[in-house]
Amino acid sequence: MQDPRAPQKDAYAMILDAIDSHVYQPGDRLVESELADRFGVSRTPIREALQRLETQNLLTRDGRSLIVASLDHNQLAELYVVRGELEGMAARLAARHATPEEVGVLRDMLAEDTLLMGDPFALSRANRRFHKQIHLASHNRFLVQQLDLVHRSMALLATTSLAAEGRVAGTLEEHSRIVDAIADGDGDRAYAALRDHISKAFVTRLKLDATAME
């Protein structure tokens, strides 16, 4: 019997993380009983989590079943437009408000990420942490909330753009330029550097999708 004093597992967070890490990919069917067994929770929180994910358009209906949603070309383009603007705004604000300690954390992340160049999926997770740190360094809670929503939708992309040949080295160089601009307190340069970074990621994404259709 489960210890009532034990911390409760967050079914929503666990399912979202499984989607984000591609355990469940677009088109995969999610079944309450299977999820409850996998995560070791009862079906009630699983059901509530699935309803919440459906409301957020991360899951969709296929008859009576819930499946992981996918993004069509237009939705993908819309997502990257919004992401570019919001991420650029976060970088601009970070250049104004980031503390020396926050800039130091970003530089440490850059150094650590060079050790992951042979593992695009590990680097993808590190990339999300890097961007999250910039969001937090903006010191704007409402912007952080909106970027959290955007990055939840990014979980619907079946592969990481970092898997594309040559993209890892380019990403690390772009990250370095972003951090340099933030450290210099140059909001315009930070905004432009992050917008350029997102634009290049979008181009890579389009090329990956085109190749998948061949």
- pLDDT, tens digit (0-9, with 9 covering 90-100), for 28-60: 999 999 999 999 999 999 999 999 999 988 999
* pTM more than 0.75: yes
- pLDDT, tens digit (0-9, with 9 covering 90-100), for 77-134: 999 999 999 999 999 999 999 999 999 999 999 999 888 877 777 888 888 899 999 9
Domain map (residue ranges) of the chain:
11-68, 73-212
Pairwise pLDDT comparison (19 vs 135), residue with the higher score: 135
Query: What is the band of 199 on the pLDDT scale with cuts at 50, 70, 90?
Result: very high
User: What is the Cα–Cα distance from 86 to 80, expressed in whole angstroms?
Assistant: 10
Tell me how many helices (H) and strands (E) the chain has. 9, 3
Give the three-state DSSP class for 60.
strand
What contacts 24+ positions apart, CB below 8 Å, involve 79-84?
79/150, 79/153, 79/154, 80/198, 80/199, 80/201, 80/202, 80/205, 82/150, 83/147, 83/150, 83/154, 83/198, 84/194, 84/195, 84/198, 84/199, 84/202
CATH code for the domain defined by 11-68: 1.10.10.10
Confidence check: pLDDT of 149 > 50:
yes
CATH topology of domain 73-212: Four Helix Bundle (Hemerythrin (Met), subunit A) (1.20.120)
